[in-house]
């Protein structure tokens, strides 16, 4: 069971604690900004209460969410492969949103909608068992101990994920940071609504079927982090 809004993690000033850092980076150039301004309004999810994803994708056979899609490589690839599925991408970094909007416009991807605020707010607005799969790929590991409270995987978020993912659906988590992988498994084993049942030891080092490395994974390889973790947890 997720926490009511007033019980969500707070900052010292009393504001809801965000699970992300900065929102902006380099400014979009003129052409990028024009596409962004013209395209985002039709794609952006604005919350004004509860949200049924079937209202966004009336004919979709499945609903999938990707939290922190970065440059959008995985999200765009999967949406192109599965036009019958409705995808919601959550990202707060304006550079990533700009890239995703450009890709959607260039490739004519009509089965993606974007949420540009803290993903936990979106999860809290969704109905029970309304989502088939949720991806969290290469999230910010917040490596300093004092920042661990900003890691997206927590009892609060796992409770929210368990509520919105249908029984038999899955939560996918990928990272190249062993400490964050261990952190995630430690939280999952204490979460009764999820089951982790790999077929054999080491399966979690094999990428998901059809996987293409994201830019964050490519960066990790360049920096010498050669081992990644690809977990899939089933909602029981």
Token digits of residue 30: 């003129």
Catalytic residue among 140, 179, 182, 193: 140
Angle value at C-alpha 163, between 160 and 166, nearest 5 degrees: 130
Chain-centre distance of CA 176, in angstroms?
Answer: 16
Query: Quick one: which of 84, 103, 95 has its CA closest to 39?
Result: 103
User: What is the H or E stretch that residue 179 is in?
Assistant: helix 178-188
Among this protein's residues, is 59 annotated catalytic?
A: no
Query: Quick one: which of 112, 235, 230 has its CA closest to 165?
Result: 235
- The DSSP secondary-structure symbol of 2 reads P
What amino acid positions are annotated as catalytic residues? 140
């Amino acid at each position: 069971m997720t926490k009511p809004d007033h019980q969500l993690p707070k900052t010292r000033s009393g504001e809801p604690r965000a699970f992300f850092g900065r929102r902006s980076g380099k400014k979009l150039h003129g052409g990028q900004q024009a596409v962004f301004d013209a395209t985002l309004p039709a794609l952006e999810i604005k919350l004004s209460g509860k949200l049924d994803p079937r209202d966004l994708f009336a004919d979709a056979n499945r609903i999938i969410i990707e939290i922190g899609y970065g440059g959008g490589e995985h999200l765009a690839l999967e949406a192109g492969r599965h036009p019958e599925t409705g995808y919601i991408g959550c990202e707060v970094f304006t550079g990533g949103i700009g890239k995703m909007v450009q890709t959607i416009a260039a490739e004519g991807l009509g089965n993606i909608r974007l949420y540009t605020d803290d993903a936990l707010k979106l999860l809290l607005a969704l109905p029970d068992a309304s989502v088939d799969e949720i991806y969290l790929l290469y999230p910010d590991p917040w490596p300093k101990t004092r920042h661990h409270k900003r890691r997206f995987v927590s009892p609060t978020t796992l409770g929210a994920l368990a509520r919105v993912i249908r029984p038999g659906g899955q939560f996918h988590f990928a990272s190249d940071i062993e400490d964050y992988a261990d952190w995630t498994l430690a939280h999952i084993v204490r979460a009764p609504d999820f089951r982790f049942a790999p077929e054999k030891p080491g399966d979690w080092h094999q990428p998901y079927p059809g996987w293409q490395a994201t830019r964050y994974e490519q960066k990790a390889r360049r920096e010498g982090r050669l081992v990644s973790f690809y977990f899939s947890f089933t909602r029981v």
